[in-house]
Structure 1
Amino acid sequence: MADAAGRLTKLAEEVLGVPLPVRIRAWDRSESGPPGAPTLVIRHRRALRRLMFKPGELGLARAWVAGDLDIEGDLYDALDRLAGLIWERGDTAAPHRAAALRALARPEVRAAARELLSLAGAPVPPTPPAEEVRRRRGPLHTLRRDKEAISHHYDVGNDFYALVLGPSMVYSCAYWGTAEEGVATLEDAQRGKLDLICRKLGLRKDLRLLDVGCGWGSMVLHAAREYGVRAVGITLSEEQATFARKRIAEAGLADRVEIRVQDYREIHDEPFDAISSVGMAEHVGRTRYAEYAGALYALLKPGGRLLNHQIARRPVADESAYHVDEFIDRYVFPDGELAPLGRTVGQLEDAGFEVRDVEAIREHYALTLRRWVTNLEEHWDEAARLTSVGRARVWRLYMAASALSFERNRIGVNQVLAVRTPESGTSDLPWRAREWRTGTHRG
C-alpha cells in the first residue's frame, strides 16, 4: 500500500481525537507526522496484527519486544509524548478514551479501520515474543508462584545485571548528592544509599541484621564490612544467592554473613535487631501485605528497627479498580503490585510498628534509572548476547519509561523507618532525624 504512514496517522488521529505527537515511518518507507519529532518506526505490518488482536498496551509491548516497532530519536521524548495516549491512567487519559469510542462509531473511521485491517496481512494472531510470561492461574502470591515470578525477573544472568547495574550490583534507587559532596557516580550514590540505611537502622558491631530480598548481597556485605553486624540475607533467586555467597567469601565475611534461598514467610529464627527490606515489598501484593508486615514485626526484638524501601503509586479514586500495567506484568515483574504510601504506612502501623520517619526520594530513582539505561545502551551488543535481543529491549523500555514516571510524579519511592517500640515507650532513636542522615549518629 502506498503511503501507509499517512493513512495510519490519519486513522490514529481520528480515533484519538488529537494530533499524533510523533512521526510515523511505515514498512513501505513512507513517513508522516510533525517534522522534528521522534519517529515511531513500524518495521513490519505484523505490528498491526499484534494491535488488532491485543489493542492497547500489551499489543504495543509485544510489537516493541519483537522488534516490529522501534523509536528513532530521543527515547525519553517519544515516551513522554505518547504517555498520555497509551500508559497514563486516571483523568488525563479519560478524554482520549472517550474520543476514541466516539470516533469508532463514525462510518468513515470504521471504513478506514477495515482498510488497515486488510493491510495487516493474514488475520492470524502472531505468536507472543518468547520473553513474555504467559498468564498465570491460581491464587496470587503463594510460595511457589512468588518463586517463579522472582526467577523470571532475576534469573536472567548475573553478567547481564552487572552490565546494567555496574560494580555495585545494587538494584534499587541510589541516593545522590552533589558533585561538591563527592557523590557524582552511580557507585558513590549506591554506597551512599546503603550507608544511609545502615545509619537509619542504628547498626553497630554484632547486632543481628535480616535483609529481606537481599539481591546480590550488597546490603549485607556493606553492613558487615562497615558496621560489624552479623547478617542474614534472603532471596528467592538461586542465581543471586550464588553470586552473593561468592562475594561474601571473597571479602572474608563468610563467618558473619549467611545467604539463604528462602521466603520471608519461612523464617523461624530468633528475633533480629534490625531488618532492611529494599525494593522487595513491591513483590508482596495487597493480599499478603498485612502478613508481610506482621511477619517482620514478629522477627524483630522489642526496640528493633525496620527500614522499608518501597516504590509507591499515586492513590486513585477507586482503589478496587487498580490494575498492574500489562507490559510490566507480562514482561518485567509478574504479579508485582504497587500501593500508595498511605496504605503502606497504615498496614505497618496495623501490624504494631511505630512509624518514625518517611523520606521520599523519587527524583533519586529517576536519575538512577537514566544511568542504568545508559549502561545498557553502551553495552547493547553484549547485553543482547547474554540474554536475548528481546530481553534487552524489555529492559530499555521498562527503565526509560520508569524514569519518566518518577520524574513526572506518577510513581514515587519512599524509605519508611518503623520501630517495634517496647511497652515502656522508650526508644534509642535520635530525636532529630538529621542526625542519621548526615552520619553523625551511628546507633
Structure 2
Amino acid sequence: MSGAAPRIVALAEKALGAPLPVRIRAWDRSEAGPPGAPALVIRHRRALRRVLWRPGELGLARAWVAGEIDVEGDLYEALDLLAGMIWEKGEDRPERGVFDMARDPAVREAAVELVKLAGPGLPPPPPKEEARRRTGLRHTLGRDRKAISHHYDVGNEFYELVLGPSMVYSCAYWRPDGTLEEAQRDKLDLICRKLQLREGQRLLDVGGGWGSLVLHAAREYGVRAVAVTLSREQAAYGRKRVAEEGLADLVEIRVQDYREVDDGPYDAISSVGMAEHVGAARYREYAADLYALLKPGGRLLNHQIARRPLADEEGYEVDEFIDAYVFPDGELAPVGRTVGLLEDAGFEVRDVEALREHYARTLRAWVANLESDMPRAARLTSPGRARIWRLYMAASALSFERNRIGVNQVLAVKTPQDGASGLPLRPRAWTEEAGSTGG
C-alpha cells in the first residue's frame, strides 16, 4: 500500500470498525477514501501526532487551528459525516493518549502503525489561541473576566466582519425571505415587546455585548437602559455608538459583572446569550440576583442556548474544543432545568419560545460573512482564530439543525402578591407584531 492517505484510511477504519465517511488527502499528495466525498486534507504529519496523543475532538481541533488539517469541499457536509465519529462516539475517551489506546486490542495494531506513519517526536505545543489551563473554582469574578476576555476581546473589526452592521452576537429572528440585518432588528424588537417596555422605564441588559439591544430599546421605546459586560473592547465600542446616536442621556454601558450591579430596582431585565457563561453551580445565584434587581411586576427575558437532557446528568462534560478555544468554562443546561431554577428563585415563568431553527440560519449567515473574506479575518485577529470561528459556527449550525442543542427565550415575571402579572391575555400578540412567521 503506497502513500500516506491509503494507510491512514485503512488504519482509521480498523480503529473505528467502520468505513471512513470522508476522503483523505495527505501531505505526500496521496489520496484515498470514498469518491465524491469532501476531503480531509492533512497538510503535515505532525497533525497525526496531535491526534495520537489526544485522540478525538481536541487533537483534531489543535491540528485544525494550526492549519495542519483542512477540509476541501463542503464544510457542513464534512462535519455532518464526521459528527458520529468525533462528537458522538468520542465522548467517553477524551483523556486517552496513544499508550492508553494501545491497551485496547481492537485498535492496538492500528495505533502502532499510525505512530510509525506520524514520525518520531512529541506533538507540537497547542496553538497560541488555546485558552490557558485554568485552576481554582469556576465562575469566580476574576476567572469569569478572563474567560469573557478570551472570547470577546479579539478585535471589534473582526466581529464587524462576522456579525455585520447589527453587531448582535446571538440568535436572530428570521422571516422566510428576510436578511440577517432585518432578522436581528426583529429579534431586538421582539425582546422589547415581550418585556413591554415603555418610555421612562429602566432596563438592565446583562451581558450587553456591543450595545445593540440597549440602543434599540432607548431609541424605539424611550427607556433608560444600562448594559453590563465584562469585555472592555465591547464596552468601548458600545459607548462610541451611544455617543454617535446622541443617546448618552438614556444609555449607560458599564464594565461590570451582573453580581456587582447594586442600583436596582429595574422595570425589566434582558439576558441574551449570557447565561451560558454562568455555570451550573452558580445558576441559582444568578436567578436570585436578577429577581432581587427587579421591581414587583418586573419582567425578565432570558435568551439561552440549551442542550438535550441526559439520562445521567452527573455525566455531563463540557465540550473540549469549545472549552479550549471558544467559550472557556461555558456550560449548557436543559431548558427544563433553567425554568425550574428561575421558578425556585421566585419568578413566574409565563412563556417559553424555542428558536432552534432560527439560530441555525443565523450561524450559516455568520459563516458566509466570515468566508467572504478569510484573509482579512485572519489579519484582523489571527489565522488560527479565524479558523476557530469558522469551525465552531459551522459545527454549531449543524448541531441546531440536528436538534443536538436548542435555544429558548424564557419570559418570567416577578409577580406581586396580588397576582397581577401585567401581561396580556393573548401573549402571542408580540410575535405577530414583530412580523415573523417562523424559521
Q: Does TM-score exceed 0.5, indicating one fold? A: yes
After superposition, the Cα gap between the structure-2 partners of 1:128 and 1:102, relative to the gap in structure 1 and judged at 3 Å, is closer
Deviation track 1:316-341 (CA, whole Å, cap 9, x = no partner) reads 01111101111000000000000000
Q: Distance in 1 between matches of 2:223 and 2:432?
A: 21
Q: How does 1:417-428 map to 2 (within 5 A)?
A: 417-428=411-422
Residue 91 of structure 1: CA displacement?
Answer: 10
Number of residue pairs the alignment of both structures matches? 429
Q: Distance in 1 between matches of 2:434 and 2:213?
A: 20
Residue 332 of structure 1 pairs with residue 330 of structure 2: no
Q: What is the Cα-based RMSD across aligned positions, in Å?
A: 1.9
Q: Distance in 2 between matches of 1:151 and 1:352?
A: 32
Residue 120 of structure 1: CA displacement?
Answer: 1.3
Q: How does 1:76-155 map to 2 (within 5 A)?
A: 76-88=76-88, 104-106=104-106, 109-155=107-153
Amino acid at match of 1:410: R
Amino acid at match of 2:146: E
Question: Could you tell me which residue of structure 1 aligns to residue 19 of structure 2?
Answer: 19
Question: Could you tell me which residue of structure 2 aligns to residue 161 of structure 1?
Answer: 159
- Share of identical aligned residues, percent? 74
Secondary structure of the equivalent of 2:21?
coil
2:102–2:108 CA contact under 8 A, matched in 1: no
Secondary structure of the equivalent of 2:36?
coil
1:15–1:103 CA contact under 8 A, matched in 2: no
Deviation track 1:366-398 (CA, whole Å, cap 9, x = no partner) reads 000000000000021111001110000000000
Secondary structure of the equivalent of 1:231?
strand
After superposition, the Cα gap between the structure-2 partners of 1:260 and 1:411, relative to the gap in structure 1 and judged at 3 Å, is same
Q: How does 1:187-266 map to 2 (within 5 A)?
A: 187-266=181-260
1:61–1:327 CA contact under 8 A, matched in 2: yes
2:208–2:228 CA contact under 8 A, matched in 1: yes
1:383 to 366, 371, 377: 377
Amino acid at match of 1:159: E
Residue 111 of structure 1: CA displacement?
Answer: 3.3
Question: Could you tell me which residue of structure 2 aligns to residue 36 of structure 1?
Answer: 36
Residue 17 of structure 1: CA displacement?
Answer: 1.0
When structure 1 is superposed on structure 2, of 2-11 and 323-332 the one drifting more is 2-11
Gaps of 5+ in 1: 94-99
Q: Distance in 2 between matches of 1:254 and 1:131?
A: 36
Q: Distance in 2 between matches of 1:111 and 1:336?
A: 37
2:169–2:209 CA contact under 8 A, matched in 1: yes
Question: Could you tell me which residue of structure 2 aligns to residue 97 of structure 1?
Answer: none
Question: Could you tell me which residue of structure 2 aligns to residue 178 of structure 1?
Answer: 176
1:358–1:416 CA contact under 8 A, matched in 2: yes
Deviation track 1:79-98 (CA, whole Å, cap 9, x = no partner) reads 000000101269999xxxxx
Secondary structure of the equivalent of 2:388?
helix
Q: Distance in 1 between matches of 2:367 and 2:112?
A: 39
Secondary structure of the equivalent of 1:288?
helix
1:14–1:103 CA contact under 8 A, matched in 2: no
Question: Could you tell me which residue of structure 2 aligns to residue 96 of structure 1?
Answer: none
When structure 1 is superposed on structure 2, of 219-228 and 126-135 the one drifting more is 126-135
Gaps of 5+ in 2: 94-99
Secondary structure of the equivalent of 1:439?
helix
Question: Could you tell me which residue of structure 1 aligns to residue 281 of structure 2?
Answer: 287
Deviation track 1:9-60 (CA, whole Å, cap 9, x = no partner) reads 1111111111110000111111110000000011100001101211111100
Q: Distance in 1 between matches of 2:28 and 2:434?
A: 64
Secondary structure of the equivalent of 1:174?
coil
Amino acid at match of 1:260: R
Amino acid at match of 2:180: L
Secondary structure of the equivalent of 1:371?
helix
Q: Distance in 1 between matches of 2:146 and 2:102?
A: 42
Amino acid at match of 1:128: P
Residue 113 of structure 1: CA displacement?
Answer: 2.5
After superposition, the Cα gap between the structure-2 partners of 1:419 and 1:235, relative to the gap in structure 1 and judged at 3 Å, is same
After superposition, the Cα gap between the structure-2 partners of 1:382 and 1:168, relative to the gap in structure 1 and judged at 3 Å, is same
Question: Could you tell me which residue of structure 2 aligns to residue 342 of structure 1?
Answer: 336
2:194–2:430 CA contact under 8 A, matched in 1: yes
Q: How does 1:356-371 map to 2 (within 5 A)?
A: 356-371=350-365
Amino acid at match of 1:135: R
Q: Distance in 2 between matches of 1:270 and 1:344?
A: 23
1:265–1:295 CA contact under 8 A, matched in 2: yes
Residue 46 of structure 1 pairs with residue 40 of structure 2: no
Amino acid at match of 1:55: P
Amino acid at match of 2:105: A
Question: Could you tell me which residue of structure 2 aligns to residue 303 of structure 1?
Answer: 297
Q: Distance in 2 between matches of 1:22 and 1:190?
A: 36
Return the TM-score normalized by structure 2. Answer: 0.95
Deviation track 1:118-151 (CA, whole Å, cap 9, x = no partner) reads 2212221211101001220000000000000000
Q: Distance in 1 between matches of 2:397 and 2:412?
A: 28
Amino acid at match of 2:396: S
2:102–2:112 CA contact under 8 A, matched in 1: no
Question: Could you tell me which residue of structure 2 aligns to residue 432 of structure 1?
Answer: 426
Return the TM-score normalized by structure 1. Answer: 0.94
Amino acid at match of 1:301: K
Secondary structure of the equivalent of 2:408?
strand
1:211–1:275 CA contact under 8 A, matched in 2: yes
1:141–1:288 CA contact under 8 A, matched in 2: yes
Q: Distance in 1 between matches of 2:424 and 2:148?
A: 36
Q: Distance in 2 between matches of 1:224 and 1:394?
A: 35
After superposition, the Cα gap between the structure-2 partners of 1:415 and 1:44, relative to the gap in structure 1 and judged at 3 Å, is same
Secondary structure of the equivalent of 1:334?
coil
Amino acid at match of 1:355: V
Amino acid at match of 1:45: R
Secondary structure of the equivalent of 2:346?
coil
